[in-house]
Structure 1
């Protein structure tokens, strides 16, 4: 079992940048990491566009928002469970082979589905089967790809790599919807044909990664359920990851993207806002995450982790109280965008700690546990926001968001969180 140890971190606040071996320029010259990053960008773009294309297809075929929502919920649940399986595979199997199987599997699945769409042989059960199967392969692939970073990137570059991954995450989220919508206007099958091509591109790039994606560890031992879920035990014992994960759970209850968008859209509609105003509000809110991802690398290099985590933790309750007092609809989007802007920075620090302080033999299982827990609270939070809004109105929604996120932010005041080391200062024993 691996444990974390660190050197005294020094004072909080602004810090000098790390040396050239840990900077973004050195990371840009890391061919294997950049190739893997580009591969995962294509796969992520396919996944995000598919998440928009499936409900569009269901609405066109049967006009049922409930059935479209049910398919979306099934995708989330499947990906959540599959991430734990993927984490176990990442620690006991050839990571490159697992990623190729997932990408080629999605390629074959979407190619067949596209052919069926062109011939008109598509039904709701078939759409559900394809969507869930694709989500399962995505859930398996995500922790495997992230676990490989530890072997492709030197320790001094791990935090920068985590920051660059945030650009990929928020970039594909921003691009997925317009890509899917534009292609859907050309024909029902086109978004899924394009998604299949993204997995083809991802597979080709994967095969050009030259470096090993995992450390030598023999046969990896026999697979069993206890071993597969051991990542949860590591999170529970880790002095840094445990309070950070507790904050993530609390934050996702009330400030997951879907939940926050639901809150501001419902509020805007209750105030009689036009569809144009609502669209602008959601766009402003969503752009915050992408802007934050673009500067996350600078934040990781220049700002102490304790400061980053403190700002991220308390921006949520402060933002929720600001929503309560916002005088107009557009300002709702600006406030949520500001909250979302600090999320990629906190994510980069968190995943930097995972990569640096968890041994390669446990990387996948810990990342699988992280993804499971991060997704677990989201549907609960989305449902809760809807119920509170229906029963009590927007004021109580924002007050509830402030109370829940404020309770979660208390984690940032513990002695460990107030004296965090840099991710590259954490070593594995």
Structure 2
């Protein structure tokens, strides 16, 4: 039965009152533990470019580290999706926290020795990025088993706002810690993974429905997820277009760092911009349910692309930190609202046993080219400077808007799902 169909009413079935989401103990633990893990990941993500720009003194090296952090999106997505659907999702999330902890320990040891070795930083970024993919897919697939179906939209909206809250706190905290000692953001990131582990082991609810025993075949399992996603006309078109936008956001992320550094700013300025950007993301995520009740996924996505085009191009016009904070907050808020829409849409139409693989293909198709965006960002900024790079990103985003408007597949997603 489709998740969008009504469940038949049984005559002798006694209606039960569904407790509010805020009283769901296991969801609170899952939400908090994943939030702590995301916060730790944000601390290190913010510290990577600062480490290379302020201590490595190389925009190109910063691009290489960003490339390593994003490479898992291209190489790890598909096996991660299979394993999330095959094995215990909670245990996989615990392994992810341990792997990230070890990566951060290695970075701290290197920095305590007074060295900044690019291969070590790249390796840590790759391991942490890989762990984040497994963790994100497992948690996203677990949510609909932890909450009542009536609470799915609210739960995913809270998850999206939590991610932006982690960014809101992580940006200034990482910048402040980095200013004191470069290794502190990585050390606190590792401690956060320990706290996230404790939250996971306290959850009682199973993260997946009972699985029927069957012969395992990696190729067949991957193909099953691919065929399901390919059969969804709107999603197929959406992930292709979002892939282009994600490349541009990798470029815009490093553009902000270089813009602030060349204007004489400090890591603290970046932290302040991150706070405002995080607030924008939280507001956007919390408004996701509002927009879904009034507009179709197609309309929300196309409007988001158009707003991004304007905001990206506007970055080329200023180096003022207050203006940059407003522009990046706008980009973050629009993206958060669209992410909530996408998450609810997929969770409602995809079977539980395919959640991991469907999400992995969607993320691979939409974000797999992130590593290319991160790698090219360093070279583009070195050759063109931040202003021309931002202007070019805005122009490419405008082209994506035109493609979305012209696509019959995009227009097919007109059903309101809120």
Structure-2-length-normalised TM-score: 0.80
Tell me the residue number matched to 1:361: 353
Tell me the residue number matched to 2:395: 399
Q: Is the 8 A contact 2:288 2:336 kept in 1?
A: no
Tell me the residue number matched to 2:131: 137
Matches within 5 A, 1:18-417: 26-58=20-52, 62-115=56-109, 117-118=111-112, 123-219=117-213, 221-254=215-248, 256=249, 258-261=250-253, 274-275=263-264, 287-288=276-277, 290-301=279-290, 303-304=292-293, 306-307=295-296, 309-317=298-306, 320-321=309-310, 329=318, 334-335=326-327, 337-380=329-372, 383=376, 387=380, 390=384, 393=388, 397-411=393-407, 416-417=412-413
> How far 1:234 moved relative to its partner?
1.9
Tell me the residue number matched to 2:417: 422
Tell me the residue number matched to 2:10: none
Tell me the residue number matched to 1:15: none
TM-align CA RMSD: 3.9
> How far 1:214 moved relative to its partner?
0.5
Distance in structure 2 (CA, Å) of the matches to 1:136 and 1:208 = 24
Distance in structure 1 (CA, Å) of the matches to 2:266 and 2:127 = 37
- Kindly tell me: are residues 42 and 266 of structure 1, through their superposed partners in 2, closer, same or farther at Cα, counting changes over 3 Å? closer
> How far 1:94 moved relative to its partner?
0.8
> How far 1:274 moved relative to its partner?
4.8
Q: Is the 8 A contact 2:298 2:412 kept in 1?
A: no
Q: Is the 8 A contact 1:289 1:340 kept in 2?
A: yes
- In structure 1, list runs of 5 or more residues that go unmatched: 8-19, 424-429
Secondary structure, counterpart of 2:20 in structure 1: helix
> How far 1:87 moved relative to its partner?
1.2
> How far 1:40 moved relative to its partner?
0.9
Distance in structure 1 (CA, Å) of the matches to 2:111 and 2:131 = 21
- In structure 2, list runs of 5 or more residues that go unmatched: 7-15
Structure-1-length-normalised TM-score: 0.78
Distance in structure 1 (CA, Å) of the matches to 2:294 and 2:37 = 30
Distance in structure 2 (CA, Å) of the matches to 1:242 and 1:300 = 23
Q: Is the 8 A contact 1:102 1:138 kept in 2?
A: yes
- Kindly tell me: are residues 117 and 34 of structure 1, through their superposed partners in 2, closer, same or farther at Cα, counting changes over 3 Å? same
Q: Is the 8 A contact 2:296 2:413 kept in 1?
A: no
> How far 1:208 moved relative to its partner?
0.7
Tell me the residue number matched to 1:17: none
Distance in structure 1 (CA, Å) of the matches to 2:114 and 2:257 = 35
Q: Is the 8 A contact 1:48 1:176 kept in 2?
A: yes
Which piece of structure 1 moves more, 320-329 or 146-155? Answer: 320-329
> How far 1:287 moved relative to its partner?
3.4
